[in-house]
Amino acid sequence: MKNIMLSGVVAALLVFSGCSSKEPAVDNQAVSNNNVEDVAPATAEEVKPVETETVSSEESMVNSSKSEYNMNAIESKLPTIYFAFDKYNITPQMQEKIDAAAELGKKVESKYKVKLEGNCDEWGSDEYNFALGLKRANAVKQALVADGIDASRISMVSYGESNPVCTEHTKECWAKNRRVDFRLLP
């Protein structure tokens, strides 16, 4: 029985690995009809001239540093929202912080977008923590939308347990890692 199987496998390998004796056929008439001159004008029409704009280096530095300062100053005023173990519901204390962040977002700068970063402690599998971090970010997003922030300005990401602010193995440290952080995007 083994000999039959072995000879069958060898025969199949020979059939499938055999080389083709045919040479590939090239259509010389089609190749000779295509000239380079015929192709060049068509591609030249598709290329548009490059438009440049000159900005003085002083103007660029002043505006970028002012913008970065504004973003950093505003971002430092945004709170971190904390959650209970294995939860993604917002407590009344955290709702007050979200309301304050929404007011800041409506009054100060509506030109920035907000990225909500969901985080978890080290308990649970990676998949579970990524899903929980996303649920936490979504809960904060829904609260911001309810407070009048446009949903198109808000994006979400979950870092699961991969972005801890504290690495000690204590209850207090784990509580600091169960959070949603606000980040401003231009």
Domain layout of the chain by residue ranges: 86-185
Tell me, what DSSP letter sits at residue 62?
H
How far apart CA 72 and CA 65 sit, in angstroms, is 10
pLDDT digits (tens, 9 = 90+) for 77-135: 889 999 999 999 999 999 999 999 888 888 765 678 899 999 999 998 999 999 999 99
13-44, pLDDT tens digit by residue?
666 666 555 565 555 665 555 554 444 454 55
86-185: which CATH topology? 60s Ribosomal Protein L30; Chain: A; (3.30.1330)
Tokens standing for residue 119:
């985080």
The alpha carbon of residue 63 and the mean position of all alpha carbons in its chain are separated, in whole angstroms, by 27
More confident residue, 12 or 171: 171
How many other CB atoms are found less than 10 A from the CB of residue 114?
22
In three-state secondary structure terms, 118 is strand
Percent of the chain with pLDDT over 70: 67
